[in-house]
Structure 1
Amino acid sequence: MVTLVVGCGAKETQTQETSNDVEKKSKIGVVVKALDSEHWLTVKKGAEDAAAETGVDVVVLAPDKESNVEQQFRIIEDLIQQKVDALAVAPCDSEGIVPFIEEANSNGIPVLTVDTNADANVVAFVGTNNTLGGKMAGERIVEIIGGEGKVALITGVPGQQTHRDRNAGFKEALKGTNIELVAEQPANSESALAMTVMENILQSNPDLKAVFCTNALMGLGAMEAIDAKGKLGDIKIIAFDTQTDVLNAIKDGKMDSVVAQSPYNMGYEAVKNAVKHINEEDVPKVVDTGTDLITEENVNEYLK
């Protein structure tokens, strides 16, 4: 009888210890803009790999599309109510997100911004220097069309700082040239909408020389519209973000180039730095995950 009691006591103690270990495991909520593209799925993979390495729980959530701002706000609100230990957020609306970051902070939940920054009290911004990336795209267009002619800009959801920065960098690169920016229209980071926008731009500007799309899906949509007009190759397409179909389009000569970021590192570094902050370690205010320009000359390096 004594042996049985001792045995049960040991098992109960072990169960309690295991339960305590589970309770001590930190939970990080990662909220991205959507999970409808290779870019965001790669961010998700990076976050999950970092969680596995650091021994924390991570949940990656997103609205059904980038323009569904209110849905993203509800997701963040729910995670605050769940009392997660940290949040990493890629804001669909850089200004609208601010009250939710403040609410998280008031509940003792630290927030990191990912991909897109916000003017709020955050632990760190993890992502690309988007102004520099936009400037790289602009400089590429200046080079390939000889510094003159008509160009267009198709941008993402209005209100997203990421796209504002890319737009600003792009326009900066065009200064001092004979290039005319004849159209600047949003397509909400959606391929189908970008196709329609591109069709309208081409109708008004049949002599267009180039277009810069501030994400990959919009680049693909613009490419379809240009292809339908039989002008692939004549109108140069530069996009932002890498995914396999974009890289293949560059290889096949359908798209000129793309500004590449590192979505995997965004997710990975966001979770790693959230864990550091939870553990009271120093975290840099900006974690630059880097940019590169992919053209026909180096595209095979990225298709491996």
Structure 2
Amino acid sequence: MILLLCGCNSNINHKNYSENNQDKYKIGVVLKAMDSEYCLSLKSGIEKAADELDVEVLIVHPQTEKDVRQQKILINDMLNSDVDAIVVVPCDSYYSEYMEIAKEKDIPVFSMDTDIYGEDEIYIGSNNLLIGKLAGEYMNDRLEGKGSVAILTGTLIQSPHIERLKGFKDYIELNTDIEIVYEKEAYCSFLDSVQKTKEILDKFPDIDGVFCTNATMTLGVMDRLEFLKLDEPISIIGVDTQTDSIRKIIDGKITGMVSQNGYEIANETVHTVVRYLNGEKIEKNIYIDSEFIRKDNAENYLKTNN
């Protein structure tokens, strides 16, 4: 059974939830939001695994991933519920006060997609340093080792954006003559990325490439560049496997995306939690593979992953 709630004032009937299903594991999941294709893919992966394993999952989330305070309330509510384990996709990787409460209550906490810094919880998700490196390698290939690039990131209190940025910059700075001339947060926002693309072009009209740390921002950059109809193409590289972004690769409007399969991450997370609850020894980090999606393999990726 899957329950999906949003907002910080949700009233969960924990007593009934527990008493009616004594024989099933109950897993609480606190997501960042439910406002993107990627978030929906996480939900789908959770649902599938819950059905496969016959476990109950209660899913809650704030309205947006900027709602750090709201998510804190939801996590604390979950810790006071009758669950066997909690999965968190933290809005803030640096906030972990709830981990101490979880330890006191003997409730294991797992991080999915986004790591909790400074804690020893089990993490299931992408290797985001590697994602940044893959993006840097392909940007280098496209620009033949020279030119200038801009970077748009999500909020830099979340581990995926921090680590993708580091992986990309480390590769570019250590292995190429490409200059990084612009680096700002666009908060995973389509509109913000559109506005910042205008700012980039105003300051650096000869920019050669843009790297974005998620798909929504990538689409925002593409939208602005498409509107301008520039004479010289600008390489756009992003992250995630949103269907619309991959179709734009096929259309030649986005250069490429480093894959991050939310469905697979979420499905593996629920399986990992159940294995842990069954007493199996689990590795600290469980990484889901990423690959570079470009025009020559994008159609095949869509066929095999949808």
Unaligned runs of 5+ in 2: 1-17
Out of 147, 150, 156, the position equivalent to 1:149 is: 147
CA distance in 2, matches of 1:135, 1:269: 24
Kept in 2, the 8 Å contact 1:233–1:253? The answer is no
Matched residue SS, 2:281: coil
Task: Report the alpha carbon displacement of residue 21 of structure 1 after superposing the two structures with TM.
Answer: 7.0
- Residues 1:22 and 2:21 aligned together: yes
Task: Report the alpha carbon displacement of residue 283 of structure 1 after superposing the two structures with TM.
Answer: 1.6
Matched residue SS, 2:63: coil
Unaligned runs of 5+ in 1: 1-18
Q: Which has the larger radius of gyration?
A: 1
CA distance in 2, matches of 1:122, 1:76: 18
CA distance in 2, matches of 1:198, 1:184: 11
Matched residue SS, 1:181: strand
Matched residue SS, 1:163: helix
CA offsets 1:204-233 (integer angstroms, 9 cap, x no match):
111010000000001011111112221387
Q: Which moved more, 1:116-125 or 1:79-88?
A: 116-125
Out of 90, 94, 101, the position equivalent to 2:99 is: 101
Task: Report the alpha carbon displacement of residue 168 of structure 1 after superposing the two structures with TM.
Answer: 0.6
1:294 aligns to what? 293
Q: Residue type matched to 2:124 in 1? A: V
Alignment of 1:29-40 (within 5 A): 29-40=28-39
2:168 aligns to what? 170
Kept in 2, the 8 Å contact 1:91–1:117? The answer is yes
1:29 to 1:120, Cα distance in 2 relative to 1, 3 A: farther
CA distance in 1, matches of 2:119, 2:133: 28
Task: Report the alpha carbon displacement of residue 46 of structure 1 after superposing the two structures with TM.
Answer: 0.9
Kept in 2, the 8 Å contact 1:239–1:259? The answer is yes
Q: Residue type matched to 2:83 in 1? A: V
Kept in 2, the 8 Å contact 1:101–1:120? The answer is no
2:209 aligns to what? 210
Matched residue SS, 1:245: helix
Task: Report the alpha carbon displacement of residue 234 of structure 1 after superposing the two structures with TM.
Answer: 0.6
CA distance in 2, matches of 1:233, 1:156: 27
CA distance in 2, matches of 1:37, 1:259: 17
Alignment of 1:144-293 (within 5 A): 144-175=142-173, 176-231=175-230, 234-293=233-292
Matched residue SS, 2:233: coil
CA distance in 2, matches of 1:78, 1:193: 32
CA distance in 1, matches of 2:161, 2:19: 44
1:160 to 1:138, Cα distance in 2 relative to 1, 3 A: same
Matched residue SS, 2:21: helix
% same residue:
39
1:122 to 1:111, Cα distance in 2 relative to 1, 3 A: farther
1:69 aligns to what? 68
2:90 aligns to what? 91
2:54 aligns to what? 55
Q: Residue type matched to 2:114 in 1? A: T
Out of 128, 131, 146, the position equivalent to 1:130 is: 128
CA distance in 1, matches of 2:136, 2:282: 33
Kept in 2, the 8 Å contact 1:241–1:260? The answer is yes
CA distance in 2, matches of 1:285, 1:127: 11
Task: Report the alpha carbon displacement of residue 39 of structure 1 after superposing the two structures with TM.
Answer: 1.1
2:80 aligns to what? 81
CA distance in 2, matches of 1:223, 1:232: 15
CA offsets 1:30-58 (integer angstroms, 9 cap, x no match):
12222111111111111111111111100
CA offsets 1:76-97 (integer angstroms, 9 cap, x no match):
111111132111111111002x
The count of corresponding residues between Structure 1 and Structure 2 is 285
CA distance in 2, matches of 1:23, 1:63: 28
Kept in 2, the 8 Å contact 1:102–1:120? The answer is no
Task: Report the alpha carbon displacement of residue 156 of structure 1 after superposing the two structures with TM.
Answer: 0.4
Kept in 2, the 8 Å contact 1:113–1:122? The answer is no
2:9 aligns to what? none
CA distance in 1, matches of 2:209, 2:82: 48
CA distance in 2, matches of 1:182, 1:245: 28
1:110 aligns to what? 108
TM-score under structure 2 length normalisation: 0.89
